């Protein structure tokens, strides 16, 4: 009996619309969340999501079904987002110098994180997340939200495992001070 990932790979090779629609329904929210966390904004994300699924259809034959589908999907989405940023540069995903923080955009509009915060801790993190460098925000969300292993994250971001690990440490170090000196 074929595993789920092999069935996905077969469906993608055949351009099977039913398989694609099932994948869209299953992964849409996680894809939207990943792209928002990667870009730090909400506008334009829906277009990138559409483009990502089109790319999944076009390049689906390169998914071999040997590993989980999520890392492959996020890798595709990341490439689409990078292409979009090259056309309309806002910030670089490759910049990771300094303390991992960049200036907050000058805008009265609440950040997507402020709007999406549903708990007190999330509310406290919202502003710091907005100013955190995308490379750190990205690995934090992939590790602690998407539950990807370091190896899988390394595939998504195209960086060695050691780099991914140090980005996670740096991201946690930037956000942690808000909760230090308190009992949980």
Partner 1 sequence: MNHHESFQHMIDESLAGHISAEREQSLREHLDTCAPCQEYLSASNRVIAGLGGFSFEVDPTLNARVFASLRRPAQRFQAAQPDRRRWVLIGLAAAVLTMGGSFVDLQFGRLIASVFDIQRTHVQQGLLAFWIVPSLFVLLLFPLLPLLSKVGTHREERIL
CB atoms within 10 A of CB 12: 23
Closer to partner 1 by Cβ: residue 55 or 102: 55
3-state secondary structure of 105: coil
Longest CA–CA span in the chain (Å) reads 56
Q: Which residue has the tokens 């923080």?
A: 101
Could you give the string, one character per residue 49-88, with x where binding to partner 1 holds by CB under 8 A and - elsewhere? xx--xx--xx------------------------------
* Nearest Cα residue to 113 out of 92, 140, 91: 140
CB atoms within 10 A of CB 143: 20
- Does 156 contact partner 1 by CB under 8 A? no
Q: Please select the residue that binds partner 1; options are 8, 48, 81, 125, rule is CB under 8 A.
A: 125
Q: Residue 132 pairs with which residues in a beta bridge?
A: 101
Report 92-111 residues binding partner 1 (CB under 8 A).
none
Start-to-end CA span in the chain (Å): 47
- Does 28 contact partner 1 by CB under 8 A? yes
CB 155 within 8 A of CB 75: yes
Q: Please select the residue that binds partner 1; options are 116, 127, 131, 159, rule is CB under 8 A.
A: 116
Closer to partner 1 by Cβ: residue 4 or 144: 144
Site residues (vs partner 1, CB under 8 A): 14-15, 17, 20-21, 24-25, 28-29, 32-33, 36, 42, 46, 49-50, 53-54, 57-58, 112-113, 115-126, 140-141, 143-145, 149-150, 161, 165, 168-169, 172-173, 175-184
């Amino acid at each position: 009996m074929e595993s789920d990932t092999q069935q996905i790979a077969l469906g993608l090779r055949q351009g099977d619309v039913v398989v694609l629609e099932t994948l869209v329904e299953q992964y849409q929210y996680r894809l939207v969340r990943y792209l928002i966390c990667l870009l730090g904004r909400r506008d334009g994300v829906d277009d990138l999501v559409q483009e990502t699924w089109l790319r999944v259809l076009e390049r689906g034959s390169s998914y071999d079904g040997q590993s989980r589908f999520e890392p492959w999907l996020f890798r595709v989405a990341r490439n689409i987002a990078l292409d979009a940023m090259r056309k309309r540069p806002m910030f670089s995903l490759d910049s990771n110098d300094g303390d991992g923080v960049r200036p907050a955009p000058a805008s009265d509009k609440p950040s997507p994180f402020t709007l999406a915060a549903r708990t007190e801790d999330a509310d406290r993190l919202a502003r710091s997340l907005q100013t955190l460098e995308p490379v750190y925000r990205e690995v934090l969300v992939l590790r602690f939200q998407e539950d990807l292993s370091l190896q899988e994250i390394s595939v998504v971001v195209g960086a060695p495992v050691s780099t991914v690990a140090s980005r996670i440490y740096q991201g946690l170090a930037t956000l942690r001070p808000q909760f230090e000196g308190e009992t949980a």
